[in-house]
Amino acid sequence: MNADELQAFEDEIYAFVGQEVYPPTPAPDDVNMPMIRQWAEIMGDTNPAYLDADWAANSSRGRTIAPPAMMYAWGQEGFQVTKGRSPNAQSNLVALFNKHGYTGVLGTNVKQEYFKEVSPGDNVTIQMVIDNISERKTTSRGTGYFFETLSTFTDQHGDVIGTQRFKVLKFIPQEQPAAAASADGGLEVPTRIASVRGPDNGWWWDAVDEGKVLIQRCKSCQTLRHPPRPMCGECQSMEWDSIESTLKGEVLSYTCVRYPHVPGYPKDPICAVIKLAEGTNLVANVVGCEYEDVSIGMQVTGKVEQVDEKTTLPQFYPA
């Protein structure tokens, strides 16, 4: 698209700002108990404000209410959308984006505000407009435009019960997303990133799998060393054996890794450098307490534990 074509395209999309997607349209059904009950069952919501007329009668509201998050549901178009939606300003705008290569779609933000609670017997009217369209932006998904719809919900008295702002990115897809599913279509639950096992370290991890933390020892001068290496830095001997650690130790330093959260890991893992009673240092997790409870100099005791489907690691607890 050259500069003139881009200008023409943008003129065309920005003309949609302010257009009505839905004129004020009353919901086909009033707010009603069967839909509320079904919604609450599926959401696992046992809130008596929605479900228990006796409780509600004695509550400060004096009546049951509909779950606020159902606000948008009352006026939804219904089953006919499986055969396609009837054209409106939003679908026309989307079609225009698609025609120019902005085929990617991503809902990025949704905000509902509630001003008045509604109860069975009330009726909700929805009105939706295209509120704004951003300038052209480059995002990690690709180049495109954000457009935002504003829906306003009123009841049968004309009172505004709430609003919804929904922001969508229409973009030129950069590349196909990586295949998210394994070959049979099932999902693979991520696990911690495994340590690669080579000739010099594999035996150490194999021992962890067996529930033991070993410390490499020079057969010639008895010096302990960790992480394992093929030669003793003290006497250059290549002969070694190992001892099993008692997993008693002291925290030399620690941190809580809060960002980024990597799939397969617990949230906010605490990692520490631990001086083992045998004298070598080991990096491992501290678990069984809050970050605030960890300190330098703290005594810890380790256990070798399976931490996910595929990973076994030493984990240290406050002693």
Partner 1 sequence: MSEYKTRSPEDVSVGDKLDPVAIDITTGLVVCGALATRDFEPVHHDKAEAQATGLPDVFMNILTSQGLMTRFATDWSGPEAVVKSIDLQLGAPNVPGMVMTMSGEVTGVDSESGVVDIKVLGENNIWGMHMQGTVQLALPKEA
Partner 2 sequence: MVANVKDKAVIVGVHNTQFSKNSGVSELNLAAQAVKGAIDDAGLKPTDIDGFATFTMDANDEIEVARAVGTGDMTFWGRSHYGGGAATGSLHQAVMAVSTGMAECVAVFRALNGRSGHRFSAGVSEGVMTADIIHWGWYMPYGLLTPASWVAMFTQRWMHNTGVTKDALFEVAHQTRQYAVNNPNAFFHERPFDRAEYDAARMICDPLQLFDCCQESDGASCVIVTTPERARDLKQPGVAVRGVAQAAAADQEQMTSFYRDEFAAIPEMEIAARNCYEMADLTPDDIDAAVIYDAFSPIVLWQIEAWNFCGAGESGDFVLDGALRPDGRLPCNTHGGQLSEAYIHGVNGIVEATKLVRGTSLNQPEKAVNHALVTSGVGIPTGGALLGKLD
Q: Where on the chain is the footprint of partner 2 (CB under 8 A)?
A: 138, 140, 192-198, 200-201, 205, 226-227, 252-260, 262, 265-266, 269, 271, 273, 280-281, 283-285, 291, 296, 311, 313
Torsion over CA: 210, 213, 218, 219 (sign): negative
107 touches, from partner 2, partner 1, none (C-beta below 5 to 8 Å by class) = partner 1
CA 100 from centre of chain: 31
Query: Are the CB atoms for 275 and 252 separated by under 8 Å?
Result: yes
Single out the residue of 91, 109, 195, 222 in contact with partner 1 (rule: CB under 8 A).
Answer: 109
184 touches, from partner 1, partner 2, none (C-beta below 5 to 8 Å by class) = none
Query: Are the CB atoms for 245 and 213 separated by under 8 Å?
Result: yes
Between the alpha carbon of residue 110 and those of residues 69, 117, 168, the distances in Å are 12, 19, 9
| Least Å from the CB of residue 195 to partner 2 | 3
If the CB atoms of residues 75 and 302 are measured against partner 1, the closer one turns out to be: 75
296 touches, from partner 2, partner 1, none (C-beta below 5 to 8 Å by class) = partner 2
Q: Are strands 270-276 and 281-286 parallel, antiparallel or unpaired?
A: antiparallel
Q: Any contact of residue 54 with partner 1 (CB under 8 A)?
A: yes
Question: Per-residue string for binding with partner 1, 131-160, x by CB under 8 A?
Answer: ------------------------------
If the CB atoms of residues 9 and 74 are measured against partner 1, the closer one turns out to be: 74
φ/ψ region of 239 (left if φ > 0, alpha if ψ in -120 to 50, else beta) reads beta
Q: Any contact of residue 69 with partner 1 (CB under 8 A)?
A: yes
If the CB atoms of residues 85 and 197 are measured against partner 1, the closer one turns out to be: 85
CA 281 from centre of chain: 35
Find the binding residues for partner 1 in span 156-215 (CB under 8 A). Answer: 166, 176-177, 180-181, 185-190
| Least Å from the CB of residue 35 to partner 1 | 7
Rounded Cα distance between 90 and 106, Å, is 14
The number of beta carbons lying within 10 Å of the beta carbon of residue 308 is 14
Rounded Cα distance between 243 and 266, Å, is 30
Within 8 A by CB and 6+ apart from 165, the residues are 109, 110, 111, 131, 148, 149, 150, 151
CA dihedral of residues 295, 290, 278, 281 (deg, nearest 10):
-70
If the CB atoms of residues 144 and 269 are measured against partner 2, the closer one turns out to be: 269
Rounded Cα distance between 15 and 6, Å, is 14
Q: Any contact of residue 30 with partner 1 (CB under 8 A)?
A: no
If the CB atoms of residues 120 and 228 are measured against partner 2, the closer one turns out to be: 228
Nearest-CA neighbor of 97 among 56, 60, 142?
Answer: 142
Q: Any contact of residue 267 with partner 1 (CB under 8 A)?
A: yes
Q: Which residues bind partner 1 (CB under 8 A)?
A: 35, 38-39, 42-45, 47-49, 54-55, 58-61, 67-70, 72-74, 76-82, 106-114, 117, 166, 176-177, 180-181, 185-190, 261, 263, 267
